[in-house]
Amino acid sequence: MSPVFADGKEYPIGPQKTIFDYADDLEIRVPTACGRNGECHECVVEIKKGMESLNQLTQEETFLRGNYRLACQAVVKDLTSNVEFTTLRRQPKILTSGVKRPVKLDSVATKRDDRVFIEEMDADRYQGHILGLAGDIGTTTIVLSIVDLESGDTLTSSSFENPQRFGGSDVMNRISYDGGPNKGELKKVLLSSINYEIGEMLSEHKIHRRRIYDAVLVGNTTMRDILFGVNV
């Protein structure tokens, strides 16, 4: 049988297996939040070779175009052809050192006795952490950092490829895509990937995402408007 390739690894093709199944076999992480039924639209992969060896697009994949499929919906039908796929993620390449200047913290979330206040609103019981999320929403790459709002220190950072790539590689293509019949899909897949990555970062430190009380996200005007659902 011919193999399935991804990230320099290969695995023999088997009958009626999805790309997600092969990702499991190859120990490649693919985001999902819906139990692999096609609803969350997180598991977008790019088919580099063998698109014709897969089943037809399913109803859950009508928002995709080109050589992109949902890993949970793409089934390898031709057992004699090579298939190669890649996830829309890259290994983190993060600048971890730099010049740190003393800055007076002015967080909207503060600790008062055993409570957490957001400005003047009593928001929560203090449980050891007051965290913030900082994000750079780039056309190509997303960079996220979890910041301790009490000390100003960065707890952890991560980066991944912008999963909106199926809508085009540049802002003009994404504006065109978002203005078409699949409006809202770019926002949906981006928010899903951000939420997934937040969970991954915090799980390493055994901290619940509810300890994040503030977020600052930056990006160019197109990325900003897509993220907030503004008509671009």
- What confidence tens digit (pLDDT) does each residue in 114-142 have? 999 999 899 999 999 999 999 999 998 99
Closest CA to 232 of 188, 189, 185, 178: 178
Range of lowest pLDDT (46-50, 72-76, 144-148, 192-196): 192-196
CA–CA gap between residue 223 and residue 185 (Å, rounded): 13
Residue pair 140/167 in contact by the 8 Å Cβ criterion:
no
Whose tokens are 């897949």? That residue is: 189
pLDDT digits (tens, 9 = 90+) for 82-100: 899 998 765 545 555 666 7
Is the pTM here over 0.75, yes or no?
no
**CA 141 distance to own-chain centroid:** 10
Q: What is the mean pLDDT of residues 23-43?
A: 87
What pLDDT score does 98 carry? 62
Between strands 3-6 and 83-87, the pairing is parallel
DSSP 48-66: EE-GGGBPPPPGGGTT--S
Residue pair 34/40 in contact by the 8 Å Cβ criterion:
yes
What pLDDT score does 2 carry? 65
pLDDT category of residue 232 using cuts at 50, 70 and 90: low
In whole numbers, what is the pLDDT of the chain averaged over residues?
89
Closest CA to 45 of 93, 5, 81: 5
Q: Phi and psi for 60 in degrees, rounded to 5?
A: -70, -10
- Higher confidence at residue 107 or residue 105? 107
pLDDT digits (tens, 9 = 90+) for 34-55: 889 998 888 999 999 999 999 9
* Domains of the chain, earliest start first: 3-87 (3.10.20.30), 109-227 (3.30.420.480)
